Structure 1
């Protein structure tokens, strides 16, 4: 009899209202610098996410503890690579602009508890999003990825130069490299994306295209 690995013991399921207090604490643990700036999901926002699009809100559970979460909504960007901020894409944080008839799943966030980051939590959450996009026949998934180490290099190079060096593995940037490994491609830099001292508010516009998308449906 095979013994299940710790990674396989991580369960992904949809978020429910009773999860909210634990998800708020997860956010604070996952993004301490941003949390100190007041940038994390509040209970009223998470309640709104579940109300408007319950299928798009996921949590990762390990031994009855929530160790990861991600929030998503459906939108349409016109033009498709339109420059935007996190706040505008997320409908003022409440997903007010969620559009069931849209063509794009927007990844609002991914949280992974720092004490459990070797369990493949983020990959499992990304896979759940991909499965949802395929199920709903959405054309793609897009998101803004924080450049978490850019502040260390800002005096030496521009954000686009930084991304180019990351892609060449000359600079370690865990978020972008993870996204590339998960088949997302870099489109362009998004300035003033969100209040984040580590990235100096810069983010990458990333995209994953649904290989099973059927535009005739």
Structure 2
């Protein structure tokens, strides 16, 4: 329970939500969350989610609404070596088909495989808390960077006007708003490249994603 002393330094978002590492008890809630966020896609399986926890527990996060105990957000990450990958490859390559068995603790790149926020809670600070917590994981583990694929959720509305590359440039210039990429750019991420077939079954992005990167300003050289 929060005390009066705690409340002095706690933001309204932190007062409402708890961010913590994923536990086994959270798995049914994560799977249910998937059905709300990605109703057209196959949800994460319990086997995949347990694999994440057993391989890299520090990178698996959930957001719980304190008052109700409801799981309203989820993030999953793993560590890789940047130069081991062709960054034009699809999501399944970076995640070993969603199991994270390619996690490499000697790497310096935290790969953001997933961030989900319940539709009823979007815009209330859940996403920001997940990204802030993921950045803290990167700092704690002395990662050089965070990389992820930002699916271009608004592209299906704009594909007749823009190529994927021009769409991303328009979002970067704030001429077009994209529900995913605009948020991430506001968090300090930069676009590295635009790739096709990142998530082939995603109708909103038509399979396109922007590979994005956040640089850890506190990273130190490992000797």
TM-score bracket for this pair, using the shorter chain length = over 0.9
Q: Which runs of 5+ in 2 are unaligned?
A: none
In structure 2, distance between residues paired with 1:204 and 1:122: 18
1:188 Cα deviation from its structure 2 partner: 0.9
Change (3 A) 1:80 1:179: same
* Pick aligned residue for 1:19 from 18, 23, 26: 26
In structure 2, distance between residues paired with 1:126 and 1:156: 31
Give the alignment's TM-score, normalised by structure 1.
0.92
Q: Does 1:37 align with 2:41?
A: yes
| Counterpart secondary structure, 2:135 | helix
In structure 1, distance between residues paired with 2:112 and 2:145: 11
Give the alignment's TM-score, normalised by structure 2.
0.90
1:81 Cα deviation from its structure 2 partner: 6.8
Q: Does 1:167 align with 2:172?
A: yes
Higher-RCO chain (CA-CA 8 Å, sequence separation at least 6):
1
Residue 193 of structure 1 corresponds to which residue in structure 2?
A: 198
In structure 1, distance between residues paired with 2:140 and 2:77: 14
Change (3 A) 1:69 1:37: closer
Contact preservation (8 Å) 1:10, 1:119:
no
Contact preservation (8 Å) 1:6, 1:119:
no
In structure 2, distance between residues paired with 1:96 and 1:80: 15
Residue 47 of structure 1 corresponds to which residue in structure 2?
A: 50
* Pick aligned residue for 2:211 from 201, 205, 213: 205
1:185 Cα deviation from its structure 2 partner: 0.5
Change (3 A) 1:147 1:192: same
Q: Does 1:87 align with 2:92?
A: yes
Q: Which runs of 5+ in 1 are unaligned?
A: none
Contact preservation (8 Å) 2:92, 2:98:
yes
- 1:85-124 correspondence to structure 2 within 5 Å: 85-124=90-129
Q: CA RMSD in A?
A: 1.7
- How many residues align? The count is 213
